[in-house]
Structure 1
Amino acid sequence: MSYEVIALLMFSGMMLLLLTGQRVFAVIGFVGALAALLLWGDGGVEMSFTSIMKVMKWYPLLTLPLFVFMGYMLAESHIADDLYKMFHVWMGPLRGGLAVGTIFMMVIISAINGLSVAGMAVGATIALPELLRRGYDKTMVTGVIQAGSTLGILVPPSVVLVLYGMIARQPVGNLWMAGVFPGLLMAALFILYIVIRCWLQPELGPPLSKEERVRYSLTEKFILLRAGLVPLAIFLSMTGLFLTGVTSLVESSAVGAVTSILAALMRGRLTWAILHQTTRKTLAISCMFFWIITAALCFGAVFDGLGAVKSVERLFLGDLGLEPWQVLVLMQLTFLALGVFLDDTAMLVIVAPLFIPLAAALGFDLVWYGVLYTITCQIAYLTPPFGYNLFLMRAMAPPEVTLPDIYRSIVPFVGIMLLTLLIIGVFPEIATWLPNYYYSK
């Protein structure tokens, strides 16, 4: 049996097992370990063992639980509520101002958490009821919250980019810096869409009434501004120490975790119940990612041994005669197709052993390619039938927001994400300039 057929059997077997509803890391790890044993006998055991040891020895991976802890601490202690109240007061007088403020809030929540689910939880439980009560169009604001929450996997400290960096063997610091400008670009396009649409159709996002505007004095507004800027101050202190070289990446994540505890303590909101809940959620998320990384490394080691990447490279460039950019387009279309059925981690684990080495062989910058992958993941979070954020919104939205409303709401935002993907693809410097500039100094 040829190596190409073996690789095809591994992929097809993995997809069939995923359809049974088994956990992603269990399927990937099982297929990888079984293939190693069948191909190399007792020596194949070393692949699984080596994958575990790689994960345990990869020091930067410590950033993952620390950043997740920081985000959950700020969410559980309701410091994020203060953030939304600040945007409510300052942005409310504008047409669509509360929706714009929600995007700003999502950017900051993303910058202190790195996960989509945290922004989704804050937006659906805090922002959505308030927006609906103020007369905002339910379809538009549902899309705003779903799309805004996806910024958490692009804006640093993105947990998805940590996972990509581990599998692609790329520095996490470079990947995080590469996600800054693309994330801000996407947020700016979201805001531009909201402003233009609410300007053309004021009934979609009415401003606060005059009575509500004068309810808060200027002094009270500045007090709210100070309270809402606590999460931003935490993020700036953490990243500032890292960028100036005072702390390493892991040390910066520890600074973020400690300052989030201090912020909750200073606001009188640190309780044993919150600490227990935060720790439990952090442990659950971290263990899931560690198992996924271990399974992906094992699966990838088998693929390296089979030489599957060389076979695909020969097929595209030799047999089909495609140009490198044409191969890149095909890879992104594959990601988009998989995103209809799989989440971001499943997509990465399934195709990373094939696509990442292929992208490197074609001469593409793997840091830039990581940003393209992450944007594609954002689209996957919103595309039916298995969009992760669609299910979360359906579970947390009030009864008046129906499933058709949720599906319709994401159409313009998916279009904006595709536009961002195209812009970053055509102008890679948007992603690569900051890490290249910083690390060249």
Structure 2
Amino acid sequence: MSYEAIALLMFASMVLLLVSGQRVFAAIGFVAAGAALLLYGQGAIELPFNQVFKLFNWYAMLTLPMFIYMGYILSESGIAEDLYKMLHVWFGRLPGGLAVGTILLMVIISAMNGLSVAGMAIGATIALPEMLRRGYDKVLISGVVQGGSSLGILIPPSVVMVLYGMIARQPVSKLWFAGLVPGLLMATMFVVYILIRAKLNPKLAPTVDEAELNMPMSEKLALARAGIIPFLIFFTMTGLFVMGYTSLVESSAVGATAATLAALVKGRVTWALIKSTSIKTLSVSCMFLWLILAALAFGAVFDGLGAVRAIENLFLNTWDLGPWQIIIMMQLSFILMGIFLDDTAMLVIVAPLYVPLVGSLDLGIDNQLIWFGVLYTITCQIAYITPPFGYNLFLMRSLAPKEITLVDIYRSIWPFALMMMLTIILVMIWPGIALWLPEQMNVRG
């Protein structure tokens, strides 16, 4: 059997296991280990051990548990709920103001957590019932919560970008800064869309009752003090990082410590809170470690077979595609895979094939792999909310009130998915949208 046929068989086996519902890391690791043993014999037993040492020598991995812990403790201690109450008072008089405030809440939660799960949980359990109670259209606000929560994997600190940086061997700090402007651009699109819809049809998003917003000044100040804590944590953490006083890992430790102190000052730290937060942090962190380990092992075997060179020869020589045609084909394949697979599965499948090829293309773009990482991450956002298997769709259904059906959820996501696709097109046409900020920053880590 030729090496090309073996690579194709590995790829097909992995996709089959993933589609059958197996755990992502188990399916990928099983195919990698089985292929290595069949190809290289007993010597392949050392393969996973080598990947483990490679993984644990990567200093930036220490940021994962720190940022995950920070997001969970802010959520579990109720600090994020205080923030939403503040946004509710500030934006309640604006047409569609609560939906706009929800988008801003999601941006802030994204900047403190790096995962879409925390934003989705907060939006579905806090913001969604409040907007429903005030007569907001359930389809509109379902899309708002899903679209807003997906920003967690683009706005720094993004855990998905940490995974991409590990596999693509790119600095996480540059990836984070590259994702910031596109993430804020996308959030702005969401806000403009909400304002236009609310202006054209006020029944979709009625303003909050004036009597509810007319609270004493002392209460407003107390609410502002409570809601400003997440801002202080985020700006302290990122400010020290941007100014060069702390490295990437040190900044993550600053954020985790500040979040814990904030919860302690507010009197919300209990043994049950620490236990719950620690278990969730450990669970998510271990899941990502297993995923990266499986991806490294699979990539080592796949690359050893010459699969990357075979794909490069197919695109450039056999099909005679130009560099931009290859990039467009890759994006289309991402969107297609995103309908059926989650972001981590997509990353493990395509990174060993696409990343080396992108690095070799003559696109006339500096830092092509950083730019490509932003394109991939935005596509992951689309994957999260695209039927039939988008992860956020089913998470939303499990968290949302019973009056919001799965059909409502499916109907709600299309405007936001289209705005995400528009962002991809803009970043492809003007790469500077993603690359300008990291070029201006001189940071450690």
Cα pair 2:247 2:443 within 8 Å, conserved: no
The 5 Å alignment of 1:356-395 reads 356-363=355-362, 365-395=368-398
Q: CA deviation at 1:210?
A: 2.3
TM-score (norm 2): 0.97
Cα pair 2:83 2:227 within 8 Å, conserved: yes
Q: CA deviation at 1:217?
A: 2.9
Residue number in structure 2 paired with 1:180: 180
Mean Cα displacement is larger for which, 396-405 or 103-112?
396-405
The amino acid across from 2:136 in the alignment is: Y
Q: CA deviation at 1:341?
A: 0.6
Cα pair 1:332 1:376 within 8 Å, conserved: yes
Cα pair 1:186 1:420 within 8 Å, conserved: yes
Residue number in structure 1 paired with 2:66: 66
Q: CA deviation at 1:92?
A: 0.3
Cα pair 1:140 1:204 within 8 Å, conserved: yes
Cα pair 1:178 1:431 within 8 Å, conserved: yes
Residue number in structure 1 paired with 2:326: 327
| Structure 1: 4+ residue segments shifted above 4 A | none
Question: 1:425 and 1:284 mapped to 2: Cα distance?
Answer: 36
| Alignment deviations for residues 22-77 of structure 1 (CA, whole Å, 9 cap, x no partner) | 11101111111111121122222232211111111111100000000000000000
Residue number in structure 2 paired with 1:191: 191
Residue number in structure 2 paired with 1:411: 414
Q: CA deviation at 1:218?
A: 3.5
Mean Cα displacement is larger for which, 56-65 or 11-20?
11-20
The amino acid across from 2:125 in the alignment is: T
| Alignment deviations for residues 235-281 of structure 1 (CA, whole Å, 9 cap, x no partner) | 11011111111111101100111111000000000101000000000
Question: 1:275 and 1:146 mapped to 2: Cα distance?
Answer: 28
Question: 1:34 and 1:417 mapped to 2: Cα distance?
Answer: 38
Question: 1:261 and 1:413 mapped to 2: Cα distance?
Answer: 34
Q: CA deviation at 1:18?
A: 1.7
Residue number in structure 2 paired with 1:150: 150
Residue number in structure 1 paired with 2:140: 140
Cα pair 1:90 1:221 within 8 Å, conserved: no
Residue number in structure 2 paired with 1:16: 16
Question: 2:362 and 2:227 mapped to 1: Cα distance?
Answer: 44
Question: 1:90 and 1:5 mapped to 2: Cα distance?
Answer: 60
Question: 1:32 and 1:439 mapped to 2: Cα distance?
Answer: 38
Mean Cα displacement is larger for which, 273-282 or 12-21?
12-21
Q: CA deviation at 1:213?
A: 2.7
The 5 Å alignment of 1:256-271 reads 256-271=255-270
Question: 1:259 and 1:440 mapped to 2: Cα distance?
Answer: 21
The amino acid across from 1:267 in the alignment is: K
Match status 1:84 vs 2:84? yes
Q: CA deviation at 1:363?
A: 4.0
Q: CA deviation at 1:398?
A: 1.0
The 5 Å alignment of 1:104-115 reads 104-115=104-115
- Structure 1, unpaired ranges of 5+: none
Residue number in structure 2 paired with 1:6: 6
Residue number in structure 1 paired with 2:25: 25
| Alignment deviations for residues 64-100 of structure 1 (CA, whole Å, 9 cap, x no partner) | 0000000000000010000000000010001000000
Cα pair 2:116 2:149 within 8 Å, conserved: yes
Cα pair 2:243 2:443 within 8 Å, conserved: no
Question: 1:5 and 1:229 mapped to 2: Cα distance?
Answer: 58
| Alignment deviations for residues 360-402 of structure 1 (CA, whole Å, 9 cap, x no partner) | 1214611110010000000000011101110011111111111
Match status 1:123 vs 2:126? no
Question: 1:240 and 1:246 mapped to 2: Cα distance?
Answer: 9
The 5 Å alignment of 1:294-309 reads 294-309=293-308
Question: 1:227 and 1:338 mapped to 2: Cα distance?
Answer: 42
Residue number in structure 2 paired with 1:287: 286
The amino acid across from 2:41 in the alignment is: G
Question: 1:26 and 1:192 mapped to 2: Cα distance?
Answer: 42
Cα pair 2:244 2:442 within 8 Å, conserved: no
Taking only aligned residues, the RMSD between alpha carbons, in angstroms, comes to 1.2
Question: 1:263 and 1:52 mapped to 2: Cα distance?
Answer: 36
The amino acid across from 1:171 in the alignment is: P
